Each structure stands twice: as C-alpha cells, then as structure tokens.
C-alpha cells in the first residue's frame, strides 16, 4: 500500500494494529562466561573460583593444619637425594599447590595417560594415590631408557604405557612413597604400602566424588625440563591424625606482638610475690584444738637442722635452713627453686 494511503494510527486497512518492532535482546554474558564465573567450567580445576569456591570452602577442615606444608617441604628436600641415585644426575624437586578440594575434581584434574599408584596408609586406616601424568613419564623414561638428557620426545602423549614403562614408573613411585612416609613420620608414625596400579584415577575408588581430599602438586626438574606429579589423600584418611597436624611447630610466632610480649614479661618479673616459711605441720583432733588454752605446748617433731619449706600460696617453692641475719629470722635456700613445669604438676596433683 502506498504510504499516503496508510492509516495514520498505525493499523492496517482491516483495522488491526501493526506489530511494533521488538528491541533486540543481547546477552550480557555467554554461558561459558557464566560457568567460568561460577566455577563449574570444564575441564574442572583443583582450585575453582566464584560460587564453586564458596561451596567447597565449607567442606574442608575448618581448623588450620600448619604442619602439612612443613611435611611436604621436607619431602621436597628429601626427594632429590633419593632420585639422584635413580637418574644418575642432579634432580631438583619443588612444591606446587596444596589445597583441599573435592575428590572428584582432584582425579579429573589428572592428565591422561597416567600411572596411578594406590597405597595403603597403615596406621591411619585409609588410602591415597600417586598420579604420574604423561609429562612425568616422558621425562623419566627418556632419561632412564637413554633418549638423551634434555631431549623432549613426546612419545607418550597419546598411548597407554607398556609393561616395561609401567614397571619403571612403579619403581619411581615406590621411591616417592618411601620418602613421603619418612616426612610424615616426623609428625606421626605411618607406613605407605603400595596396593595396585591403575591406568585411570577414576578406577581408584578411594572416596566418594563429593568427599574432600588433600591434593598436592609437586614437580621434578631435570636438565631444564619440569615434570609434575600429584599426591591425593582423602580427608577421611587424615581424619585420625588431623589433630596432630593442627599443632604449632618451633619457630611459629602465631601472630604475637613482640612489643606486647616484652612489656608483659617485664611486668611479670616486677610483680610482688608473697612467700611463707612453714616450720612444721601436724594434724590434731578438733576437740584438742578447741581445748587449747594459754600456756599449753604443741610439740613439733623436728630437729634443729631440719629444712623449712618455703611456699607461695599452697605451692612449695623450695626448702632452706632457718637462721638469723641482723636480728631478723631468715631462711638460707638449700634446694633449687622449683621449675614452672614441676609447679604445674604439683598443682594438678
């Protein structure tokens, strides 16, 4: 219809209103960006951001475990000495991430193909796994099978390991578990015993997918090449000894203010303290005590050279000999002053 014949009110000749053009709806965020912000993107990571991090934060241990990083730092110091004899050269180890994550996320983060060694933690009544991915296997096998130091073959990127390769990696896993056992043994006795070898971490059913686990990423550095491997221990395995890893260790300041500590120590050393010397104690019937009168004599079972006990409140501090100095009764200390630990034991008794 020509424009001049169109109705001025925006309707067609039959009287129906024309549809107004709808505004275009543009998405502010794509679905991939939304998943990444929430923390449920694929592939899943061991430390997810956003809402996923908030959900997982309440599932891990609430109390700090300061000895866990110390144990793995000790493991990093131990590994080069043991693996140097295996590789026949200088080896360096480093600690990557250490976090409590969902067990399902931890095993999904393992790169395949992998050599997964499950072990039994005797003494903790639980199990764990050691996962060595293709980068670790490629580095270890290239050096041990004579491919040349510093060369990157990449031949293990898309195929499962052979029987010989599995045997070599299992030997390396035994060395790592032995050193991990020694590092954990400084806190609590434990023995890591290898149980079985799997090609996929999902076949190692150590915990439910939603359970929390300790995921530790470590790596070996050899001739400029770095090879990561992962140690996964379910939280249920650490539960019997979790209190031991929550203790403080030597050198930890625990956030104390040194200025306040020095002021408190100064004031304590200057605080007045009342002490009393006890010549003798005896038990008398109440009737005898009530019948005491002026002039009665109480006999003490003591000798002139017997020691007198010095007390602070009801705590015995030391003992000494009674004498006189410048017209005043004095006590000459004859035994060492009790230590705070001994005083605490006597107070508890």
- Residues 195 and 335 both lie in one domain: no
In terms of domains, do 81 and 221 share one?
yes
Give the model's pLDDT for residue 335. 86
Say yes or no: 319 and 189 in one domain: no
Answer yes or no: is 295 within a domain.
no
Domain of residue 307 covers 273-286+301-349
| Together in a domain, 241 and 279 | no
Overall number of domains in the chain: 2
Say whether both 175 and 241 belong to one domain: yes
For residue 37, being part of any structural domain is answered with: no
- Looking at the fold, whether 190 and 83 belong to one and the same domain comes out as yes
The answer on 205 and 104 residing in a single domain is yes
Q: What is the pTM of this model?
A: 0.58
Cα separation, 186 vs 71, whole angstroms? 8
310 shares a domain with 219 = no
pLDDT at residue 96, rounded to an integer: 92
pLDDT of residue 174: 95
Measured in whole angstroms, the distance separating CA 211 from the mean position of its chain's CA atoms is 17
- Which pLDDT score is estimated for 66? 87
CATH of the domain at 188: 3.40.1550.10
**Are 119 and 220 in the same domain?**
yes
Structural domain contains residue 222: yes
**Residue at 34 is within a domain:** no
Q: Report how far Cα 171 is from the mean position of its chain's Cα atoms.
A: 28
DSSP-H helix ranges across the chain: 31-38, 50-57, 67-87, 103-108, 134-144, 163-185, 235-238, 242-245, 258-270, 286-290, 340-348
For the chain, 349 residues long, give each residue's pLDDT as a single digit of tens: 445 555 555 555 555 554 555 555 566 777 777 766 665 555 445 455 555 555 555 455 667 788 999 999 999 999 999 998 888 888 999 999 999 999 998 999 998 889 999 999 999 989 999 999 988 988 888 888 876 554 555 555 567 888 988 999 999 999 999 999 999 998 999 999 999 999 989 888 899 988 999 999 999 998 788 889 999 999 999 999 988 888 765 444 545 567 888 888 888 888 888 888 888 888 889 998 898 899 888 887 778 788 888 888 878 888 898 888 888 888 888 888 876 655 555 555 5
The answer to whether position 349 is within a domain reads yes
Same domain (yes/no): 218, 325: no
The confidence score (pLDDT) of residue 284 equals: 85
> Has residue 235 been placed in a domain?
yes
Please tell me whether residues 163 and 92 are part of one structural domain. yes
Residues 282 and 225 in one domain: no
User: CA torsion, points 101, 104, 109, 114, in degrees to nearest 10?
Assistant: 130
CATH of residue 280's domain is: 2.30.330.10
Residue 99 falls within a domain, yes or no? Answer: yes
In a domain, residue 44? The reply is no
């Amino acid at each position: 219809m020509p424009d001049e014949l169109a109705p001025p009110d925006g309707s067609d000749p039959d009287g129906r209103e024309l549809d107004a053009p709808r505004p275009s709806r543009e998405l502010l965020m794509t679905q991939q960006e939304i998943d990444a912000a929430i923390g449920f993107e694929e592939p899943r990571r061991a430390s997810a951001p956003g809402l996923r991090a908030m959900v997982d934060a309440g599932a891990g241990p609430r109390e700090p475990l300061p000895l866990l990083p110390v144990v793995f730092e000790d493991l990093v110091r131990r590994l080069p000495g043991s693996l140097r004899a295996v590789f026949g050269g200088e080896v360096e180890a480093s600690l990557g991430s250490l976090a409590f994550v969902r067990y399902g996320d931890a095993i999904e983060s393992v790169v395949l193909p992998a050599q997964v060694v499950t072990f039994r933690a005797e003494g903790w009544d639980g199990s764990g796994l050691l996962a060595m991915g293709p980068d670790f296997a490629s580095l270890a096998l290239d050096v041990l099978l004579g491919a040349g130091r510093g060369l990157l073959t990449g031949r293990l990127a898309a195929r499962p390991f052979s029987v010989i390769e599995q045997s070599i990696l299992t030997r390396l896993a035994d060395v790592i578990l032995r050193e991990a056992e020694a590092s954990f043994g400084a806190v609590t006795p434990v023995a890591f015993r290898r149980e079985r070898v799997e090609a996929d971490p999902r076949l190692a059913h150590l915990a439910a997918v939603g359970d929390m686990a300790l995921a530790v990423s470590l790596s070996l550095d050899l001739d400029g090449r770095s090879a990561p491997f992962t140690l996964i221990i379910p939280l249920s395995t650490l539960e019997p000894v979790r209190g031991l890893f929550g203790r403080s260790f030597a050198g930890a300041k625990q956030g104390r203010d040194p200025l306040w500590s020095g002021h408190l120590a100064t004031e304590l050393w200057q605080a007045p303290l009342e002490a009393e010397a006890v010549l003798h104690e005896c038990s008398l019937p109440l009737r005898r005590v009530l019948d005491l009168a002026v002039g009665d004599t109480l006999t003490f079972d003591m000798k002139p050279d017997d020691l007198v006990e010095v007390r602070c409140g009801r705590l015995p501090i030391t003992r000494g000999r009674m004498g006189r100095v410048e017209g005043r009764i004095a006590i000459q200390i004859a035994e060492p002053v009790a230590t705070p630990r001994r005083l605490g034991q006597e107070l508890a008794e």
